[in-house]
Amino acid sequence: MRHSTDHILTSHVGSLPRPKSIESLLMPDGDNSAYLAALPAAVKEIVQTQRDVGLDACNDGELSKMGSWSGYIERRLAGYESKLLVAATGPEQADFPEYHAGRPRATGVPIPQMVCTGPISYIDTEIKRDVANLQAATEGLDPQDFFMCSVSPDNINYNPGGNEYYASDEEFIAANAKAMRGEYQAITDAGFTLQIDMPVQKFNFLRMNVEQFRRRLAGFVEILNDTLTGIPEEQVRVHICYGGGKQPHTGDIGLGDIIDLVLRLNVTAVSFDQNVRHEHEWHIFEDLKLPEGKMLMPGVVAHTTDVIEHPEVISERLVRLGRLVGRENLMAGTDCGLGGRVPREIAWAKFASMVEGARLATERLKS
């Protein structure tokens, strides 16, 4: 992963709108042989589209993940089976009953979820395919300019009842971490940057207070750092956010409550969500010194609205933070993945605006 003294780098969280060439081939509950056959060409197309719009750090669009950003892992881990469980809920469901009426987390109706019923191990067939597709699409280019996303061990399943095998939550997460090491290693061995996705909105659904969640997160930081032993820190970044949903977000934990723990992770960059409720949190860095070698990747465009942020708005968001942490320690990003959340043409217009906003901010921070 690069630092740049020349300009503010641009990237995104991971998922991108599927190209039209493969969109109609996806059969979530059927035969996806045609989709998989078309995947290498589609990855090459999505890489080129990112480069054409001017993004610095690009990826494969997570096109191979035919389910959700995290649900894909069900096909890659042994020790799990699907069972019907009532989804965990948080205070937002109680505070806004009309808003949440009919949504899966508020109905109390069991839905299929991953449940650990035996020892967890990793099945590496699909990650080999994904790495090979991105390698082919980036042949002749520097792999430092590309990243791949992977779910964090504590986000594979956090619902009550999701673990029927391990004696404690800590043992369960540690087993997930040990298994995920294979995926993390495959990505970094190929020379790509590994992005570990760990949305912290689970604080809400776990019904913990801040102190309880901090203890859980501190334990996880130790587990993840141990898992990353031997993987170069400069090849790892982490994404934290408040989930991909359009919702009130009153149950979110504040960035200031956890950023000190997140910065202990053996990663170079931290991608974080600045959705409407959290935009003020840049003030945290007025008092908190960014550790040497760390980078921040604030979300400067949102996945929860089709409004295309003006380059001047994006520039202001970057300038105020850049003045605190240094332009070279900043990378413009998205709040969360745009794929499946905003229309294709809106997503690419957002990226174009972000690139222009980063250019404006670069010039302003030079003065």
Q: Hey, how many other C-beta atoms are within 10 angstroms of the C-beta on 23? A: 12
Residue 150 is encoded by which pair of tokens? Answer: 């992977």
102-124 average pLDDT score: 86
pLDDT at 106 over 90: no
* Most confident among 64-78, 270-284, 347-361 (mean pLDDT): 347-361
Could you identify the residue written with the tokens 């469980």? 85
Question: Global pTM?
Answer: 0.96
Residues 6+ away with beta carbon under 8 Å from 23: none
Distance CA 114, CA 5 (A): 44
Q: How many domains does the chain divide into?
A: 1
Asked if residue 1 is part of any domain, the answer here is no
233-254 average pLDDT score: 90
Going edge to edge, which strands form the sheet with 236-240? 9-10, 331-334, 295-301, 269-272, 236-240, 193-197, 147-151
Distance CA 259, CA 274 (A): 13
pLDDT of residue 307: 97
pLDDT digits (tens, 9 = 90+) for 149-181: 999 999 888 777 899 999 999 999 999 999 999
pLDDT digits (tens, 9 = 90+) for 16-75: 999 999 999 988 778 899 999 999 999 999 999 999 999 999 999 999 998 777 889 999
Q: Are 251 and 204 in contact (CB under 8 A)?
A: yes
Q: Which amino acid is at 24?
A: S
Asked if residue 88 is part of any domain, the answer here is no
Residue 134 is encoded by which pair of tokens? Answer: 């991105």
Asked if residue 351 is part of any domain, the answer here is yes
pLDDT of residue 229: 98
Residues of the domain holding 290: 9-68+122-366
Asked if residue 79 is part of any domain, the answer here is no
Asked if residue 334 is part of any domain, the answer here is yes
Compute the mean pLDDT over every residue in the chain, rounded to the nearest whole number. Answer: 93
Asked if residue 90 is part of any domain, the answer here is no
- The CATH number given to whatever domain includes residue 193 is 3.20.20.210
DSSP codes joined into one string, 149-179: EEE-GGGS--STT-BSSSSSHHHHHHHHHHH
Which DSSP helix (H) or strand (E) runs through 238?
strand 236-240
Asked if residue 73 is part of any domain, the answer here is no
Q: Are 152 and 184 in contact (CB under 8 A)?
A: no
pLDDT digits (tens, 9 = 90+) for 190-243: 999 999 999 887 788 888 999 999 999 999 999 999 999 999 999 999 999 887
Which DSSP helix (H) or strand (E) runs through 220?
helix 210-227
Q: Which of these ranges, 16-25, 311-320, 345-354, has the smallest mean pLDDT? A: 16-25
pLDDT of residue 41: 97
Q: Nearest CA to 58 among 153, 171, 165, 138?
A: 138
Asked if residue 191 is part of any domain, the answer here is yes
